[in-house]
């Protein structure tokens, strides 16, 4: 299984994670599902809770709609877990 080529995707996840965490319940299905790539292939993941069950090195893509355009973000499960730990400490 090949890895995702992250060039062309947004990797500045801080604003995305901050908005995402404030607007979505962990068990709520996403309007734009996560696309995950791991050793078993590429698949759709519907909730944050499900996403957090993947291995830390699992690559994730998610489209986030904006006012004038949509962006596709690239991150790993570890990135979102680290962000959640950070905001829970604050």
What distance in Å separates the CA atoms of residue 87 and residue 60, rounded to the nearest whole number?
A: 20
Give the closest residue to 44 by CA, choosing from 57, 56, 30, 25: 30
Task: Give the model's confidence band at 1: pLDDT under 50 very low, under 70 low, under 90 confident, else very high.
Answer: low
pLDDT at 52: 94
Which phi and psi angles does 46 have, rounded to 5°? -90, -25
The string of pLDDT tens digits covering residues 24-57 is: 767 878 778 899 998 889 999 999 999 999 999 9
Residue showing tokens 């060039």: 7
Query: For residue 90, is pLDDT > 70?
Result: no
Q: Are 80 and 86 in contact (CB under 8 A)?
A: no
pLDDT at 26: 75
């Amino acid at each position: 299984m090949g890895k995702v080529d992250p060039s062309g995707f947004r990797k500045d996840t801080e604003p995305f994670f901050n908005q995402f965490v404030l607007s979505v319940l962990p068990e709520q299905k996403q309007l734009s599902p996560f696309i995950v790539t791991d050793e078993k292939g590429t698949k759709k993941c519907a909730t944050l809770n499900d996403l957090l069950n993947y291995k830390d090195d699992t690559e994730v893509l998610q489209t986030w709609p904006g006012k004038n355009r949509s962006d596709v973000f690239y991150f790993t499960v570890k990135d979102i877990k680290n962000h959640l730990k950070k905001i829970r400490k604050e």
